[in-house]
């Protein structure tokens, strides 16, 4: 006699029979739990493990210190006047800082998420368990995402607290919007790093790829796009597509839009003028998170250990 299994195969006679509690009893009295935890439970276990490892390796503290040091330094020494305009200028300066710093830190934090775990042998151990590989990748991303988001909120939040003390609560909402945008930027680059890590065969390759990604999105993309726009005067749709194809551009447009000031020159100013709503920009940034993670989850299935 056979019974259907979860993957469409059959559970044979000597394979045992399901238990009422969802467990699995073999013909030899073996108890093997419920075979595997529910997908949500497995995801939570992998994410929690990744979070715990990041905290214990002091990544969480290091990230927070880096963000706080730069943000507080810029806030303290930017010489802002005690006025709403001064507040906006400081946030615009923080946005420029975030564009350079946050992607670099996120890529450095995420490039070894998969390939590093493989080199240490941990991935081998996890893949031998009845857990889908996509769950391992998604869990790894989520665990690190929590650490990174918390570090951004605390690090840049300290600078926000300093600003509120200087300028009062008038710009509080703006700063919260900025903070959320920085979190989105960080998570999008973490997602890209995890995708790179899922396809890289060695950690050094993933690191090299991460640096190239940073250089492309932070240094090259906007310059190239501005050059293309100046040279070919493409359609508005093409310009929008060009603008949205860079998460840092989306981030700058989000922040500039909320500030209502062209404190940042360059491509983001064009994006602001393109008239994309905050909601559309937020969706674009979310896609920059979801698509790389989905790609990583798909590509990991082909990975040979």
Instruction: Give residues in contact with other proteins (CB under 8 A).
Output: 2, 5-16, 22-24, 26, 28-38, 41-42, 45-46, 49, 52-53, 56-57, 120-122, 124-132, 304-305
Cβ nearer to other proteins, comparing 3 with 69:
3
Cβ nearer to other proteins, comparing 135 with 258:
135
For the chain, what percentages of helix, strand and coil (3-state, to nearest 5) are there?
75, 5, 20
HSE at residue 219, side-chain half, CA atoms within 13 A, is: 8
- Could you give the CA distance from residue 177 to residue 183 in angstroms, rounded to a whole number? 10
Cβ nearer to other proteins, comparing 41 with 76:
41
Q: In angstroms, what is the minimal distance from the CB of 58 to other proteins?
A: 10
Q: In angstroms, what is the minimal distance from the CB of 18 to other proteins?
A: 11
Cβ nearer to other proteins, comparing 32 with 170:
32
Q: In angstroms, what is the minimal distance from the CB of 55 to other proteins?
A: 9
Count CB-CB contacts under 10 A for residue 12: 12
Q: In angstroms, what is the minimal distance from the CB of 244 to other proteins?
A: 37
- Could you give the CA distance from residue 241 to residue 285 in angstroms, rounded to a whole number? 13
- Could you give the CA distance from residue 111 to residue 147 in angstroms, rounded to a whole number? 15
Cβ nearer to other proteins, comparing 41 with 61:
41
- Could you give the CA distance from residue 298 to residue 288 in angstroms, rounded to a whole number? 16
- Could you give the CA distance from residue 14 to residue 8 in angstroms, rounded to a whole number? 18
Cβ nearer to other proteins, comparing 10 with 278:
10
Cβ nearer to other proteins, comparing 5 with 278:
5
Q: In angstroms, what is the minimal distance from the CB of 1 to other proteins?
A: 11
For 3, list phi and psi in degrees, rounded to 5.
Answer: -135, 150
- Could you give the CA distance from residue 143 to residue 140 in angstroms, rounded to a whole number? 5
- Could you give the CA distance from residue 159 to residue 152 in angstroms, rounded to a whole number? 11
Q: Where are the alpha helices (DSSP H) in 171-217?
A: 172-199, 203-214
Q: In angstroms, what is the minimal distance from the CB of 19 to other proteins?
A: 11
Cβ nearer to other proteins, comparing 131 with 253:
131
Q: In angstroms, what is the minimal distance from the CB of 41 to other proteins?
A: 7
Contacts for 290 with CB less than 8 Å, ≥ 6 apart = 191
Instruction: Pull the structure tokens for residue 14.
Output: 């000597």
Q: In angstroms, what is the minimal distance from the CB of 23 to other proteins?
A: 8
CB contact at 8 A, 189 and 100: no
């Amino acid at each position: 006699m056979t019974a259907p299994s979860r993957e469409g195969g059959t559970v044979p006679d000597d394979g045992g029979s399901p238990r009422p509690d969802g467990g699995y009893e073999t013909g030899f009295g073996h108890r093997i739990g419920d075979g595997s935890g529910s997908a949500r439970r497995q995801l939570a276990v992998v994410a929690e493990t990744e979070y715990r490892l990041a905290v214990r390796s002091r990544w969480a503290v290091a990230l927070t210190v880096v963000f706080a040091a730069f943000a507080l330094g810029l806030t303290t020494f930017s010489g802002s006047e005690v006025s709403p305009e001064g507040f906006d200028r400081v946030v615009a300066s923080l946005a420029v800082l975030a564009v350079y710093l946050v992607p670099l830190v996120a890529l450095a934090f995420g490039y070894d998420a998969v390939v590093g775990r493989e080199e240490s042998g941990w991935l081998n151990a996890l893949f031998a368990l009845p857990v889908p590989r996509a769950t391992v990748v998604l869990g790894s991303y989520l665990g690190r995402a929590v650490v990174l988001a918390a570090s951004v909120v605390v690090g840049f939040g300290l600078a926000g607290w300093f600003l509120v003390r200087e300028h009062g609560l008038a710009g509080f909402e703006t700063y919260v919007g900025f903070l959320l945008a920085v979190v989105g930027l960080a998570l999008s680059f973490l997602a890209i790093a995890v995708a790179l890590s899922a396809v890289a065969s060695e950690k050094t390759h993933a690191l090299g790829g991460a640096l190239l990604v940073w250089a492309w999105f932070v240094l090259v993309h906007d310059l190239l796009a501005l050059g293309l726009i100046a040279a070919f005067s493409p359609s508005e749709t093409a310009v929008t597509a060009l603008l949205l194809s860079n998460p840092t551009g989306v981030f700058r447009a989000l922040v500039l839009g909320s500030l209502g000031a062209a404190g940042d020159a360059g491509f983001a100013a064009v994006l602001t003028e393109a008239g994309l709503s905050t909601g559309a920009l937020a969706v674009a940034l979310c896609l920059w998170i979801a698509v790389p993670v989905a790609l990583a989850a798909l590509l990991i299935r082909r990975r040979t250990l």
